[in-house]
Amino acid sequence: MKKLLAILSIFFIAKISVAQTDSGYFSSFDKTKIYYHVQGKGFPVLLVHGFIVNSNSWKHAALYDSLIADGYKVILVDLRGNGKSDKPHTDSAYANDAEAKDIIGLMQQLNIKNYDVVGYSRGSIITARLMMLDKHVRKAVMGGMGADFTNPDWQRRIDFYHALAADTVPALHTMVQSVQVQNLDQQALALMQEYQPSTSKEALSKIKIPVLIIHGDSDEANGSADELALFIPTSQKATTPGDHNHAAATPEFALAVIKFLKQ
């Protein structure tokens, strides 16, 4: 009898584990296949990855396990052109908020009515678009991002595009080499930069949901986080140890984000 109960117990636990995890592909508005992974059963939190990485990068950050341990449902997504998602090579595939539209469609397919979103680096740029386009976003975190992305003619974006398109920016040659060594889709990455959206200061000033602006204490990329916070009247600021490439992985980043989400 004890042996039978033990077998049933293992079976029951296994069923719960399966129910808590969902991975697969979503066919977006233009038939682009978008890979996603869902873990947990609580309030949904979407994590949006940065540039030249994919959603798996979040699994190496303290925030991922911390959210699951705290009872949240965590949604990861490979933005188009990245990871396991399709990598189209047409201009139209990346223009007109295609990446934000992918996420909105995915949330609808997952039957998620309201959710929080955490973006880091370029993921914060997409997070800003979600705040503009999706009324179901409850709270948002913009990590590793300053005010520079609000400029549609942001020189850093333009330089990254030219570097990836034709390797014509000497200062970014090492970045291009890294993309090639990792066998990433260089053309798709170039198109992401060419059609990367901006969100104006005026649009940000109309945000009504709570927003956390968080950056590493040694992060000098992407402009001033303090200036970005001034554009968003509902924002608050936090600082975590680390530079741009490492701040998001720290326990301090996880603690600050979860504290904000629970407010």
The string of pLDDT tens digits covering residues 144-156 is 999 999 999 999 9
C-beta atoms surrounding 214 within 10 Å: 26
Q: How confident is the model at residue 257 (pLDDT cuts 50, 70, 90)?
A: very high
Cite the DSSP H helix spans in the chain.
2-19, 62-69, 98-109, 122-133, 155-166, 173-181, 186-194, 201-204, 225-231, 251-262
pLDDT of residue 21: 87
**What's the sign of the alpha-carbon dihedral 11, 12, 14, 18?**
positive
Give the three-class secondary structure for 233: coil
- Which of 156, 154, 255, 157 minimizes the C-alpha distance to 214? 255
* Model confidence at 166: pLDDT above 80: yes
CB 210 within 8 A of CB 236: yes
* Model confidence at 19: pLDDT above 80: no
pLDDT of residue 17: 41
Distance CA 98, CA 30 (A): 9
Q: Beta strands 137-143 and 115-120: pairing type? A: parallel
Distance CA 102, CA 88 (A): 14
Distance CA 233, CA 250 (A): 27
pLDDT in tens, 39-85: 999 999 999 999 999 999 999 999 999 999 999 999 999 999 999 99
Predicted TM-score of the model (pTM): 0.92
Work out the mean pLDDT of the chain and round it to a whole number.
Answer: 93
Alpha carbon of 220 to those of 89, 148, 158, 194, 223: distances in Å?
32, 12, 18, 23, 7
Q: Is 3.30.420.40 the CATH classification of the domain at 25-262? A: no
Quick one: 201 exposed, middle or buried, by C-beta within 10 A (0-12, 13-18, 19+)? middle
Radius of gyration of the chain (CA): 19
Q: Beta strands 73-77 and 44-48: pairing type? A: parallel
* Model confidence at 114: pLDDT above 60: yes
Number of H helices, E strands in the chain: 10, 8
Residue bearing tokens 């947990």: 40
